[in-house]
Amino acid sequence: MISFLRGNIIEKKAPWVLLEVNGIGYEINMPITCFNDLPDLNQETLIFTHFIIREDLICIFGFQTIAKRTLFRNLIKINGVGCKLALIILSNISPQQFINVIEERKVSLLEKIPGIGKKIAERILIEMRDLFKKKSDNLSTSILEKKAIADDAIKALIALGYKPKEAHFIITKVHNPNMDCKTLICAALKKIYEVKNEKKGLFY
C-alpha cells in the first residue's frame, strides 16, 4: 500500500490536484478544504493517500493529514457512503467537528451536508459512534495518536531510503508534540538537508 506521495504540484483544479513524482503525474482527488493548505504550483508537497484499485478503475484520494484520511477510510466502510460522498463530507466538516457531531448526536448537522438525507445521517451516526472514545479517554488517546504520528513519520523516512536507525534518530531529534505527521516529516527532511550542508554525519 502506498501511504503517501511526495512531489511537485503541476495543476490544481478542485476536486483534484496533479502531482508529479519522479516524472510521473498522479491525479489525486482531495477534499475542497485541503486546497487551502496546498502550496503554489511547482512547489513540493506531501499528500497522504488512499488508493482504490479495481478491474476497470484506479483512483487516488489524497489528504493533508492522517486524521482526514482515517476519517475517510472509516466513512467508506458505511453502507451507502461511497468515496464521492465521503469526500463531500470532508469538504464540509473537519475531523474534530465530525467527532463532536457524533458524540453529541447532532443528526441535523449531518443532514445539512449536500448528498446526505436523514436515513444516511442516522446510519453514519449509529455506525461511527462506537469508533470514537469517550471524552474521559482523550488523554490516553492523545498519547497513542502522538506515538502513531512519530511511527508513521519514521516509516515514511524508511520508505524514502533512510535506514531504520537513522530515521528513528532524526525523528526523535526534531519531534515536537504539537506536530502532525506531515510537519514532522518535513522538519526531519529539513534537518537532514542542513546536516548534509554542514558536512556532518547524521549521528552527531
pLDDT tens, position by position, 94-111: 888 888 888 888 889 999
Half-sphere exposure of 124 (CA within 13 A, CB side): 32
Residue at a domain's end among 89, 107, 132: 132
Asked if the structure places residue 202 within a domain, the reply is: no
- C-beta neighbour count of 172 within 10 angstroms: 11
pLDDT tens, position by position, 130-148: 776 554 344 444 545 666 7
CATH code: domain of residue 114: 1.10.150.20
pLDDT tens, position by position, 42-58: 999 999 999 998 878 88
Nearest alpha-carbon partner for 10 in 185, 21, 2, 63: 21
What's the CA dihedral at 131, 125, 127, 62 to 10 degrees? -70
Whether pLDDT at 168 is above 90: no
Element (H, E) at 181: helix 181-197
Asked if the structure places residue 203 within a domain, the reply is: no
CATH code: domain of residue 39: 2.40.50.140
Range of the domain at 96: 66-132
- How many domains are contained in the chain? 3
Asked if the structure places residue 147 within a domain, the reply is: yes
Backbone angles phi, psi at 202, to 5 degrees: -65, -35
Residues 124 and 159 occupy one common structural domain: no
Residues 109 and 152 occupy one common structural domain: no
pLDDT tens, position by position, 65-99: 888 898 899 999 999 999 999 999 999 988 888 88
